């Protein structure tokens, strides 16, 4: 229809009552074919409507990538400014159109341009919670510390508006987390003042200043107490906030006397004051919260009880208090994890001891089949591994996802101490996972020479074959783990073993350009001219991939 109208002489610049032009309408609706026809007929690619929105603004608004791309290809102005001060890039951010935003940045749009309020695109993304767009801007090198006309930065507004996902990105990117505004307020102050507990938690974890007051000397802890925000108070106290001569328990008591309900949940995660007191301590604060009516077994949105939180935070006194009060020691969260697994995962050995003494099930598995011993071994917490083994935890249980035993986990995590403890306890050194991998295979893949040494000294099968026909040495040569290759060869591993396609360790090393591995294999007498099923020898593999060092070694051999 558009083509017929154009052929009949239709006016490409006819303005409708709201100032919209045909080309702008095509861009707004995402009709790329109509847009192409109108441009070919001479439509003005940069003419805006009564608000100053050009076709490129319209394409960016609704994320019509191909329309925006074609407008840029034909030379449309990349930074026309609408009456509200917005460019097409600002529009893409405001409407969360990450692909169009990336297109505009790559085409040269100013990623740090400011509108009439001094707000950058990063500022707009942070204030309205467009995390994907903010991530694009950060990756493009946008200035994330530039303030608006009032001095507020993207991080300030992310905190103020409770945009936790954006705050997380900004902290990771190195945004100034302690910058003060014109009233002397830090982001931490604003998080407390607005009651944004999740943002406060992110700031505390990032090491933000929790003590600095505003221009009137009012500190975040005072604000939390004044607003009866027990959740924020518990986090601040646990992080060491200055109570100015008061005992922290007195501050909590004051807040609880004024608060309506000690069991009130926070909005984001469903935590009560008991959860936070348990994680951050001290125990006398937790005691007050429990006495005020907070449930010791009340679960958050993920099924975690205060005992889970105490185990996560390594709060031994809080764990003891909860256990003595009758907290359920084996309550599982929404993922099947119990407090013992949480404590073991985070390496809190004192909490592990308390939970075991309280009768925690040492072999209970979560929804993925991981026990506390799996978690401790995977995280490399040898003290927790030792405690669990002494308590009689099953050392050979396999998880339900990959068939890994605790020894597989320890070998993968480069924890030689954990591997040593498990081997001494009699763990099966040659158990296989769903891929046929033994603990030795896992150690080799990660290049953990110390773990490889321990397993070989314990008599692990050096020539075990996985489900794909690979031995530890073959995998080692392919990954380029020279230290492990040397250990396996010294232990007598078969240097000429060939996988199902006649792939040898020497061929893998040559093809991958791993000259150190190749040299070790040649010195061990590996057959240098053996061909695979395609008739290719190691020399071919090195030549095909232009690995000159390997080629030279093979020719000299």
For residue 23, what pLDDT is reported?
64
For residue 384, what pLDDT is reported?
98
For residue 267, what pLDDT is reported?
55
Query: Which structure tokens are listed for 532?
Result: 């695979």
Per DSSP, the residues of 3-15 read: HHHHHTT--TT--
Q: Read off the pLDDT of residues 428-450 as tens digits, 9 standing for 90 and up.
A: 999 999 999 999 999 999 899 99
Domains and CATH numbers, the chain: 462-557 (1.25.40.20)
* C-alpha distance from residue 202 to each of 131, 197, 210, 232, 267 (Å): 16, 9, 12, 12, 15
Backbone angles phi, psi at 271, to 5 degrees: -90, 150
Backbone angles phi, psi at 235, to 5 degrees: -65, -40
For residue 550, what pLDDT is reported?
84
**Cβ atoms within 10 Å of 437's Cβ, excluding its own:** 26
Single out the residue of 451, 158, 362, 140 nearest to residue 442, CA to CA: 451
For residue 400, what pLDDT is reported?
94
For residue 260, what pLDDT is reported?
47
Residues 90 and 76: their CA atoms lie apart, in Å, by 16
Residues 110 and 160: their CA atoms lie apart, in Å, by 26
Decide if 152 contacts 158 (C-beta within 8 A). no
Single out the residue of 542, 538, 535 nearest to residue 551, CA to CA: 542
For residue 253, what pLDDT is reported?
64
Which residue numbers in the chain have pLDDT < 50? 2, 4-8, 244-247, 260
Decide if 101 contacts 89 (C-beta within 8 A). yes
């Amino acid at each position: 229809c558009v083509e017929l109208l154009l052929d009949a002489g239709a006016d490409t610049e006819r303005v409708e009552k709201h100032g919209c032009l045909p080309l702008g309408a095509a861009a707004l609706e995402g009709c790329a074919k109509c847009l192409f026809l109108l441009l070919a007929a001479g439509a003005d690619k940069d003419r805006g409507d009564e608000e100053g929105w050009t076709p490129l603004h319209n394409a960016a608004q609704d994320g019509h990538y191909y329309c925006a791309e074609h407008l840029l290809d034909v030379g449309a102005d990349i930074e026309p400014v609408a009456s509200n001060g917005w460019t097409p890039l600002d529009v893409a951010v405001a409407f969360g159109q990450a692909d169009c935003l990336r297109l505009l940045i790559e085409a040269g749009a100013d990623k740090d341009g400011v509108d009439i309020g001094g707000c950058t695109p990063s500022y707009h993304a942070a204030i309205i919670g467009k995390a994907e767009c903010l991530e694009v801007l950060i990756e493009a090198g946008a200035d994330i510390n530039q303030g608006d006309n009032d001095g507020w930065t993207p991080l300030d507004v992310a905190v103020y508006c409770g945009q936790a996902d954006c705050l997380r990105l900004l902290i990771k990117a190195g945004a100034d987390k302690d910058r003060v505004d014109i009233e002397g307020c830090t982001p931490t102050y604003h998080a407390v003042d607005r009651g944004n507990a999740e943002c406060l938690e992110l700031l505390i974890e990032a090491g933000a200043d929790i003590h600095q007051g505003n221009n009137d000397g009012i500190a975040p802890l005072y604000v939390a107490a004044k607003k009866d925000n027990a959740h924020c108070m518990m986090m601040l106290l646990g992080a060491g906030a200055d109570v100015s001569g008061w005992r922290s328990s007195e501050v909590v008591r004051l807040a609880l006397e004024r608060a309506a309900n000690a069991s009130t949940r926070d909005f984001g995660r469903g935590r009560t004051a008991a959860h936070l007191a348990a994680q951050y301590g001290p125990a006398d604060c937790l005691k007050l919260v429990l006495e005020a009516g907070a449930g010791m077994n009340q679960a958050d949105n993920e099924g975690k009880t205060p005992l889970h939180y105490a185990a996560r935070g390594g709060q031994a006194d809080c764990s003891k208090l909860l256990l003595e009060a009758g907290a359920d020691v084996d309550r599982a969260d929404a993922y099947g994890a119990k407090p013992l697994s949480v404590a073991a995962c985070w390496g809190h050995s004192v909490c592990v001891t308390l939970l075991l003494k309280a009768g925690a099930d040492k072999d209970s598995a979560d929804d993925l089949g991981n026990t506390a011993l799996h978690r401790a071994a995977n995280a490399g917490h040898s003290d927790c591994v030792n405690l669990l083994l002494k308590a009689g935890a099953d050392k050979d249980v396999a998880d339900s996802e990959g068939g890994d035993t605790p020894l597989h986990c320890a070998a993968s995590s480069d924890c030689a101490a954990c591997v040593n403890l498990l081997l001494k306890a009699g763990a099966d050194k040659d158990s296989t996972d769903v891929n046929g991998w033994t603990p030795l295979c896992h150690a080799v893949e990660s290049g953990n020479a110390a773990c490889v040494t321990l397993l070989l000294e314990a008599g692990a099968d050096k020539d075990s074959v996985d489900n794909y026909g690979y031995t530890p040495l073959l995998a080692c040569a392919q990954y380029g783990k020279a230290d492990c290759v040397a250990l396996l060869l010294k232990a007598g591993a078969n240097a000429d073993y060939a996988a199902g396609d006649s792939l040898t360790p020497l061929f893998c090393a040559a093809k991958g350009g791993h000259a150190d591995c190749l040299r070790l294999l040649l010195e061990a007498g590996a057959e240098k001219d053996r061909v695979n099923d395609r008739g290719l020898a190691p020399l071919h593999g090195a030549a095909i991939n232009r690995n000159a060092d390997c080629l030279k070694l093979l020719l000299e051999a």
